[in-house]
Amino acid sequence: MVNNTNDIAPQIALPDKDGLAIFEVKKIIRCKSDNSYTEFLILDDSGKKKDYLKKVVSKGIYHFEDFLMSTGYFYRIHNQHIINVAHLTRIIRNNGGYVLMDDNTGELIPIARARKEDFLKHLKFKGIIL
């Protein structure tokens, strides 16, 4: 992982078959745990339209959690999911709660019941909800 220094936007290095790919942390939409693997969904706005990259890394989500949370962009809403609140588009209250992200997948990401109250407090603190 690459730490932030002075005026450089926080970045993260994710291993791939050829080495390390460097991404701006703010472009990470969400991370999903799959046991000892973590799937990153990353905004790719280098072309004419927004696309999204999926990067699967053979390290558990816990390996990235502290760093991501320290950037101020992320919140762990479930044991399997860390989201970038800057990419949050909708909170759904049905069946305990879900969120939708701006990744156009339409995937409902569950909010753990035990984390819901703190998550809403976090969004209030960030000024996202009043």
User: Which pTM was predicted?
Assistant: 0.88
Three-state DSSP class for 2? strand
d(CA 111, CA 91): 9
- Six-digit token string for 45: 């706005």
Q: Per-residue confidence of the chain (130 residues) as pLDDT tens digits?
A: 555 455 677 899 998 888 999 999 999 999 999 989 999 999 987 766 678 899 999 999 999 999 999 998 999 999 999 999 999 999 998 888 999 998 888 899 999 999 999 999 999 998 888 8
Residues with Cβ within 8 Å of 26's Cβ and at least 6 positions away in sequence, in order, are 9, 10, 71, 73, 84, 86
Q: Sheet harboring 81-84: ordered strands across? A: 51-57, 37-44, 28-34, 81-84, 74-78
* Domains of the chain, first to last: 11-125 (2.40.50.1020)
